Amino acid sequence: MTRSNGDATVRLTAWVSGRVQGVGFRWWARSRALELGLTGLARNLPDKRVLVVAEGPRSSAEKLLDLLKSGTTPGHVSDVAVQWGEATGGLTGFEEQ
């Protein structure tokens, strides 16, 4: 699916490492994603990373990724592993899990 401006709808999957649990990171990621019009989720993982999945226009997903790497997040991000794919749909809103 593409938008009228040619901005493809994509799925961003990001695994965020560092001190990102227990510092408000998921709430922060949710707020930024909603501001950008993205749907998805932010979930704590057992290995202390946070999984962020976001779907929407590629330009908005890229902005979210830039924010995740920006150094302005709660806590401290040491690494962000990224996977891009086609949007699968089925996501509504943005959940903290």
**Is 32 known to be catalytic?**
no
Is the Cβ–Cβ distance between 44 and 26 less than 8 Å? yes
Chain centroid to Cα 86, Å, comes to 15
**Is 44 known to be catalytic?**
yes
Q: Is 56 helix (H, G, I), strand (E, B) or coil?
A: strand
Tell me which H or E stretch contains 26. helix 25-35
| Catalytic, out of 3, 32, 44, 58 | 44
| Catalytic, out of 26, 30, 49, 58 | 26
Residues identified as active-site: 26, 44
